[in-house]
């Protein structure tokens, strides 16, 4: 009887720890490129979107926000009168910094 009770207790603990880990996984995976995705996901949640509609909305939202960042970085590069490789390098770093937060 004790063996069955112990087995049930171990299985219950394993189930609860797995559920807890799964709930924490999206927060832990919030890397820099996902910063925009977080706000787009929040907007999708506000609109109560799910499934394919949510995926489509988030994809478009991320694309739109990335375009705004690129325009801003291109504008900053023009203000600094950068061209060629210097402009490309500056823009790449600027976009990376924008994605970080």
Tokens of 6: 């112990």
Q: What per-residue confidence (pLDDT) applies to 85?
A: 93
Rounded to whole angstroms, how far apart are CA atoms 52 and 50? 7
Q: What per-residue confidence (pLDDT) applies to 25?
A: 42
Q: What per-residue confidence (pLDDT) applies to 62?
A: 80
Q: What per-residue confidence (pLDDT) applies to 8?
A: 59
Rounded to whole angstroms, how far apart are CA atoms 15 and 21? 10
Write the pLDDT tens digit of every residue in 45-84: 999 999 999 899 888 888 787 777 888 898 999 999 999 9
Q: What per-residue confidence (pLDDT) applies to 40?
A: 83
Rounded to whole angstroms, how far apart are CA atoms 69 and 80? 17
Rounded to whole angstroms, how far apart are CA atoms 82 and 88? 9
Q: Would you give the DSSP letter of residue 32? A: T
């Amino acid at each position: 009887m004790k063996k069955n009770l112990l087995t049930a207790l171990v299985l219950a603990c394993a189930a609860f720890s797995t559920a807890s880990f799964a709930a924490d996984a999206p927060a832990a995976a919030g890397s820099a490129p996902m910063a925009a995705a977080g706000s787009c996901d929040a907007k999708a949640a506000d609109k109560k979107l799910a499934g394919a509609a949510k995926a489509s909305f988030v994809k478009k939202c991320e694309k739109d926000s990335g375009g705004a960042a690129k325009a801003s970085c291109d504008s900053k590069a023009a203000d600094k009168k950068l061209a060629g490789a210097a402009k490309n390098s500056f823009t790449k770093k600027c976009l990376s910094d924008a994605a970080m937060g």
